[in-house]
């Protein structure tokens, strides 16, 4: 069985490309998935790409991916600020996790948007590089997987 990279997306990212394109760009989540799939296919890895608006479902996904994954790229979206159940689920995962933010959350208009509760428990963070940040995160997870092999 091939190893898998998971890409988990939080609330409202199903509307990527439509919602506030001046902040989040015009790429859709399907565009992002297609580019990530090219990378994982070339590396001989499977890709599990998902989006949910429900915190409990996200917790279930982290629990399912808890062992044996090559890595997880995670855009928590609004879960960034207060989803402590998701945070606890992340702490149980044994693979690298890269937190992805399309916008630079540290430059956002509201102070609460600039602080991620997830940052202290993930391997690394990509923020402010648009949808391209997903590809960078997946590339890094592939790099880490190859280094471990």
The pLDDT tens digits of the residues spanning 59-75 come to: 999 999 999 999 999 99
3-state secondary structure of 50: strand
Tokens representing residue 17 in the block: 């490309």
User: What per-residue confidence (pLDDT) applies to 149?
Assistant: 82
Measured between alpha carbons, how far is residue 9 from residues 44, 54, 147 in Å? Answer: 23, 10, 26
- Give the CATH number for residue 28: 3.40.50.9100
The pLDDT tens digits for 46-60 are: 999 999 999 999 999
The pLDDT tens digits for 106-118 are: 886 776 666 889 9
Question: Which residues are identified as catalytic?
Answer: 24, 101
Nearest to 93 by CA among 64, 73, 116, 120: 64
Question: What domain range is 56 assigned to?
Answer: 4-148
Domain count, the chain: 1
User: What per-residue confidence (pLDDT) applies to 1?
Assistant: 67
The pLDDT tens digits for 119-134 are: 999 999 999 999 999 9
């Amino acid at each position: 069985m091939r190893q898998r990279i998971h890409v988990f997306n939080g609330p409202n990212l199903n509307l990527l490309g439509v919602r506030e394109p001046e902040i989040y760009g015009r790429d859709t989540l399907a565009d992002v998935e297609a580019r990530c799939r090219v990378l994982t296919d070339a590396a001989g890895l499977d890709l599990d790409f998902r989006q949910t608006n429900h915190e409990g479902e996200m917790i279930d996904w982290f629990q399912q991916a808890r062992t044996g994954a090559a890595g997880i790229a995670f855009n928590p979206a609004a879960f960034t600020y207060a989803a402590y159940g998701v945070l606890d689920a992340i702490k149980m995962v044994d693979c690298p996790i890269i937190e992805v933010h399309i916008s630079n959350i540290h430059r956002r208009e509201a102070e609460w948007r600039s602080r991620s509760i997830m940052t202290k428990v993930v391997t690394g963070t990509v923020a402010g590089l648009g949808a391209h940040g997903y590809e960078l995160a997946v590339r890094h997870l592939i790099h880490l997987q190859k280094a471990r092999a």
